[in-house]
Amino acid sequence: MKIQERTGAGNNRSATSAHPAMGERLPTPPRERKPALAALAVLLILVGALGATMLVLRAGDRIEVVKVTSDVQAGESVSGHTTSVLVANDSGINYVRVNQLAALKRLKAKSTIYAGTVVIGDMFARSAELPAGKASVGVSLKEGQYPAGIKSGDTVAVYRVGDTGSSGSRSSSSSSGSSNSSGSGSSSAGGGPIVERAKVSYVDDQKDSTISSTNLPVTLVVDSGQAADIADAASAGQVALVIVPGN
């Protein structure tokens, strides 16, 4: 009897130990360490910090220079056409710094400088340099002799116009014509332009448009052979400009 009881007790103990008690956690395998991933994370952090440092250093090595906001024609000053931008300092480039702008305005562009260009000192000279075979002609225009909004860089046709008196005096001195058109068209091939395409290099943008008696000074760049005809018409106040395609 005792042997059976002990045997039964042993059986009961073994059956009980085969199942975990309520609330008891199963053993978990040890975590696998990955040193390569940890090293990669540290490396990325260092690279990010180095990049931020380089950006700060480069930002501190920038200078403020002059950039043109609209086209500047040959022989024209940059006055009224500039803004400032930050660029990386480079001793090999002759940038014009903002603190040199006052001196720059006294110089003239050697050739056309297009909007958005960061200028350098080599683009300017004390006097305008015209291309070979070109001449610069100034005209003074009354209201009605130029289109509204005319500006430097525009391409225009130059016409000769005149009133009845001036046309009559011209025609009488040259021939016995009986109409006004002979005087106004004698220098412009029957009503055609004196110059079909001329470049506006300067317009006095300080003109007070409320004063109708004030003329608008405009400078044109034309072929050398056309300058005399324009100067002759301008001296008589008989020049009119028309903007043509090509602007």
Q: Is residue 236 within 8 Å of 141, Cβ to Cβ?
A: no
Close Cβ partners of 143 (under 8 Å, ≥ 6 residues apart): 209, 212, 216
Record the tokens describing residue 28, joined without a space. Answer: 């978990």
Reduce the DSSP state of residue 187 to 3 states and report it. Answer: coil
Type of residue at 9: A
Segment 143-169, tens digit of pLDDT: 889 998 888 778 999 999 875 344 444
Segment 95-144, tens digit of pLDDT: 999 999 999 988 888 888 899 999 999 998 887 667 788 888 899 999 88
* pLDDT, mean over the chain: 75
More confident residue, 180 or 54: 54
- Nearest Cα neighbor of 197 from 133, 241, 145 is 241
What structural domains and CATH numbers belong to the chain? 62-125 (3.90.1210.10), 134-243 (no CATH)
> Measuring CA to CA, how many Å separate 59 from each of 50, 62, 114, 171, 205?
14, 6, 27, 71, 38
Q: What is the DSSP letter of 127?
A: S
